[in-house]
Structure formats: structure tokens, C-alpha cells
Chains A and B, each alone.
Chain A
Amino acid sequence: MELQVQLLINTLQIGSVYVLFALGLTLIFGVMKIVNFAHGTFFTAAALVVSTVMSVSVETAGLPIWFSYLIAFTLALLIVCMIGFVVYFFGFQYVLKDLNGSFILSIGLLLLLNGTYLILYGGVPRSIPDVVPGNISLFGASLTIQRLLLIIVAAIITIGLYQLVHRTKLGLSLRAVAEDQEAAMLQGIPFRRVAFYGFLIGATLAACAGALMATVTPVTTVIGDDFLVKAFIIIIIGGLGSVLGAILGGLLIALIESFGGYYFDPSTATLAMFVLVVVLLIVRPQGILGHAER
């Protein structure tokens, strides 16, 4: 029983970051109808900013670690928003609803940004000191306090996003545009502005995931690429454009990774994810909670 609880806790640990990351990706697709292969670079940028700012503020300025992290987290979100603004303003706004164009643009951006990060930060992995050190036992399962906080913060952000999408005017606009762009425009909803907000929210979610992840794993300039592959699997399983689908997909993938990795091995678990995607694309191509194309 204790083992099962440990595996479930592992699922939550792994899944919380996957969900945040995938939410941004699915939101961008839902509103803009484009697949952003450069989404992982927002994640990476945030993680790199956190690791850099913290090493300066803790080691050089001698600030308390928790305070340094707050500064680093805020800066990371701001910088990623700026990057998001620039790439949207100079790129993505011209390829809205254009799958081919957005594919080429985002692949190019991915190469450009990854190369830039490598020049700026070098290839060596970085880690930051524990923001909240110590371990905790939860129903017999062990995890670090930091990981528990990561789960809680990720859950709060996810609930916050869900509330934003379902309870606010902006959320209503996002859903309207995702449902039917022309009809939304006829209702007076400014599509381009809503698409821009959607893109920024998506980038911010990736940044949150990256900034949180930097506290528990070594940061490299390609860390976002590893998460991107899983995120695509998640949003395909959950349904492109579906917020709830991304949540369910993220947790499902984490479950496979946790239980599959234990009872079989990590490589088999990875294989199982791809097999699941293939099967789903055959049986239900719109994903668990996605809508079929008319």
C-alpha cells in the first residue's frame, strides 16, 4: 500500500509540471489554431533566468534564498513575457490559423532561441540551492518539501487558469474564439487582441513551469525540449485546445511514467506513451476531451 501511495505521489510530482507546461501549449492552439514548437524555449528561459538570478543574489549579494527565489521567479515571468511579446509581434501574429506557417516559424524560433541560450549560458547544467530544504512524509510516501510546494503552487495556478477561462470575460472571449473565430468576431470580440492575450498567458504558464522546475532539477539550455515532446503527447491525448484535457492528459502521462517506470522500466513507460498516442489517434483523433473537426 505504501508503495502505491509513493507511486501516486510520484505521479503528482511529475504531473504537476507537465500539466502547467501543457496548459500553455493547448491554450495557444485553442485560440490561435497553431502549434508552437518554440513553447519549450519559454520554459527554458524561465529556468535559466531563475538559476542565474539566484546564483547572483544568493552567492554574490548574500540575500536569503527564499527572497532571491521570489525575485528570480518574478523576473523570469517578466522576461519570458517580453520574449513572448517580441515573438508574437514580429512573428506569430502573421501566421494565425496557419498551421504550415506557424510550424516553420516556431521551428526556426526554437533553433534561434536554443542557440542564443547556449551562447549566453554555456552547456554546463546549473542547479540552485534548495529554496525550502527538508523532506516530508505524506501518508507513508516520501518527498521533499520543495516538491510538495511545487505541487501546491502548480495546482493553484491550474485552478486559477481554469477560473480565468470559465469565469471571466477574457476567458469567455478565449473560449468563444477557440470555438468559432468568425462568430466571435461578429459578436464584437477583437480576435487579434484575444489571440495576443492567449499567447502571453500560454507563455507565462510555460514560464511558471520552468521557474518551478528549476528548484528541483538541474537546468540546461535544452531542458524545455525534453518537456515539449511530452507536452505534445499530453495535448494530443487530452484534446487540442482543451484545458481540462491538458490536465487529465498530464496526469495520465505522469501516471504511466510513474507506474510503468516502476513495474516495467522507464524506457518501456516512454514507449507506452507513444503507443497510447498512436492508438488514440486511430480510435479518437480529437483526444479525450477535444472536439471533432467539423
Chain B
Amino acid sequence: MSKKKIIGMTGGALLALFSAQTAFADEILKVGISAPMSGAAAAWGLGFEYAAEQAVEKINSEGGIKAGGETYMLELHSYDNKYNAAEGAKTAQTMLNRENINFIVGSIGTAPVKATQALSERKGAILFNTGWGKSIKGPKYPLTFTQMNTPFEILAPFYGYVKEQHPDAKTVAMITPNDATGQELEPVAVDTWADLNVEVITNDKYERGTTEFQSIATKIANSNADIVDFGASPPTDVGSMLKALDVLGWNGIKVVPAGTSAGTLSKMAGAAAEGTYLGASADFTGDSASDVQRELNTGAMEKLGEALNGITISSYDAVMALKKAIETADSVEPKEVAKVIPTIVFESSYGPAAFGGAEVYGNPQQILVPVMITQLRDGKAVEVGRIAPAELKERLK
């Protein structure tokens, strides 16, 4: 046999071997996250990223996602959207156009979410988000799904609980950031308080990035409101405002619908934060937490020094929902996957969960998970109420 023939046959054999290997190699499925990893809301973004990482690791360690005869291993890509539309647009461009990501498993902040959605819907990518705006969902945005409870799910049971505990409370002072999140939340909050016969006596907005809250605190304290509702304010801002209110001697009922990071709140405001009611926090150490939530929470405390909450754990749930939807659709084509999401029941961190809310939003794009009401006691969020949505109970029958 000539030298040329030997080299040719060796090369051919190597090529065949390599091709065979690649034919059996797992495919990579990139998934993205857009969240504030810096600034006042960084506690949300970092916890969000952590929970998503755990979900990705779990799925990959269990063999990945099987669809269309292929096995897909997930690869998580995280981006800092700084909780504003400009950075949200930038991260969206990177994820969707440069990295060619078709599944965004989490996005925090209505403003950056809207910026991302403008691109994701056009590109045909699925967008899971924690945006609190009603306008984010609906038949116009078939590829957008909300992965946590929003004001439409939280406020009625949350405010109702507070009013039950404080029946004499008749007035509320509202303060929320002046952005898409705050603007979408405000009318829902005003209406919900009105339904409970609580009058909104002051209703103000502030710019994100504000560091001095004395004038806000002076206005609230001077209003003599029974309740102060901090709306969509992040934990650092709420902490600063509570501290300022404490200096002025105000000691009313404190309510934070977007209240999540009890640890951060307690750190910032100290004793002034005690007794605060939180609408999106969670006690994932208590008896009502699932094993998954307890495990995730322990890991987050070790790694980040901050407990998980309703916002941050939602990225885990979104990844799990995505897995079930891809396997049900037997496809990684986003539009095919989006069609089946409203039909699946998947294993979330809370247990079995689904997507619904067609009556409120026009399309079943809202995750159905329990609303948890917590109160800050001795620096920790203690669960005082948990309400499962009626639609979920129906679906699970």
C-alpha cells in the first residue's frame, strides 16, 4: 500500500470517527437572563441568576432536555440590565442578535422587559419576565410569559390581609418609583385600597437612583397616614425611606407590595423595618416551603448572603416550565414551545404549577403560583399568609 493511500485511509477513518462522535454529542441550548446585577435592585438580579443556575445544573445533571430526537444541554447567559430601558435594550440586542438566544428565562424590571420584548417578539424568541405591567401580556405578545405573581394577583389578597390585621386603618400614603413598573402598579393599588375603604391621601413618585429621601419621608410623616405603601420600590430604597421616617417619629403600618429582600431591608433600616408587610417575599425556611425551595434558599444564603424571595426564585420556575414545554412540544422552535406553555402542568419550586390568567390578560400567559404574605419579624420574613390561585386548583383537579 502506498504512503498516500495509508494517509488517506487514516484521515478518512479519523473523519468518520469525529463525525460519529459529533452525531452523538449533546446540543447546546442557550438560555438568557436580563436582570439588575448592580445598583439598588442588585439583590434581585443576583438571586435570580443563582436560582436559574441551579435549575440549569439540575436539568443538565439529569440528562438535559430531549426534543425532536436530540438531547439539549442548557447554557445560561446572564446580563446586567441596571433596571432601566436603555440597558435592557442593550442586553436584549446582545442576547437575541449576537448570542442568538431564543429563550430568555428571566427578565426583571418592566422598563427593561418592554425594551427586550420589542426585540424578542419580532425575533420570535420566548421571554419569561417578572414585569408587573398588564400591558406586557396579551394576544399582541404571544411569546411573552410572566413568571411571578403581579399586582393583579398579589394586591387584593395582600392588602386584604393587612386591612384584616388593622381594621382601624383608614388612610394610606403611596410612594413608588417613577418608571413603567411604578406607573403600571399605581392604578391597581389605588383601586384595591379603595375597594377596602382605605383612602389614598398622598400619591407620589420618585426617580430611581434617588439617594436622599428626607423630603419624601417628611411628606409621608406630615400626612399622618395610617399606612405607607412603598409600591414597586426596591429594598434599598425602602430601607432608606423607613430610616428617614423613623427619624421623624412616624410609626404606622408599613406595606411593600414588591417587598422581597427582608435581609437587605433589615440591614438598611434596622429596627425601623420591623413589622413591615412584604407582598413578594417568602419564608423558604418555614414549614410551608417545599424541599426544593428550602434547598435553593440554603444555597443562596451561603453563596449570596441573601435569602431567596418570590422574584428571585421565579427564574428556577421559568427554566422548569421551559423544560416541560420543550419536551411536550417535542421541539425547540420557540413558537411551537409557546403554543404548549398554557397547556402544561410542570413541577415548579412550589410544586405543580401552570400558566393561566386569560380572563385578566386576554391570554393564558401568567404563571399560577401561590401568593405569599410575609412580615418582617426580628429581621426575618415570616410567612403569615399563603393563597393559592383558584385557577390553579381547577387545573390540578
A residues engaging B (CB < 8 A)? 3, 6-7, 10, 13-14, 118, 122-125, 127, 135, 142-144, 213, 217-218, 220-223, 225-227, 257-262, 265-267, 269-270
Contacts and interface: CB of A to CB of B under 8 A. Distances in A.
A220 B215 contact: no
Given A220-B39, A258-B214, A142 B267 contact: no
Q: Which of A258, A259, A262, A266 has the most CB of B within 10 A?
A: A266
25 contacts: A3-B222, A13-B212, A14-B214, A122-B38, A122-B42, A123-B37, A123-B38, A124-B306, A125-B40, A125-B268, A142-B247, A143-B247, A217-B211, A220-B38, A220-B39, A221-B39, A222-B38, A222-B39, A261-B216, A262-B218, A265-B204, A266-B178, A266-B204, A267-B207, A270-B207
Given A266-B205, A267-B205, A218 B240 contact: yes
Interface string B290-305: 0000000000000010
B9 to A, nearest CB: 52
Interface of B: 36-40, 42-43, 45-46, 80, 82, 178, 204-207, 209-212, 214-216, 218-219, 222, 236, 239-240, 247-249, 264, 267-268, 304, 306
B249 A123 contact: no
Contacts of A3: 218, 222
A218 B219 contact: no
Given A123-B46, A267-B205, A258 B40 contact: no
B42 A125 contact: yes
B131 to A, nearest CB: 20
A106 B144 CA distance: 40
Contacts of B45: 123
A258 B43 CA distance: 29
Q: Which of A14, A213, A259 has the most CB of B within 10 A?
A: A14
Contacts of A135: 247
| Nearest 4 CB-CB pairings of A with B | A261-B215, A123-B42, A123-B38, A266-B206
Contact of B267 (A6, A127, A144, A213): A127
A257 B206 contact: no
Contacts of A124: 42-43, 46, 264, 304, 306
Q: Which of A122, A218, A260 has the most CB of B within 10 A?
A: A218
B229 to A, nearest CB: 15
Contacts of A122: 38, 42, 46
Contact of A262 (B39, B219, B304): B219
Contacts of A144: 247
B42 to A, nearest CB: 3
Contact of A10 (B207, B214, B240, B249): B214
B139 to A, nearest CB: 33
Given A142-B249, A217-B240, A226 B211 contact: yes
A153 B219 CA distance: 27
Contacts of B215: 7, 10, 14, 257-262, 266, 269
Contacts of B249: 142
Contact of B264 (A13, A125, A223, A259): A125
A54 to B, nearest CB: 14
A213 B45 CA distance: 25
Nearest to B239: A218
Contacts of B82: 222
A266 B80 contact: no
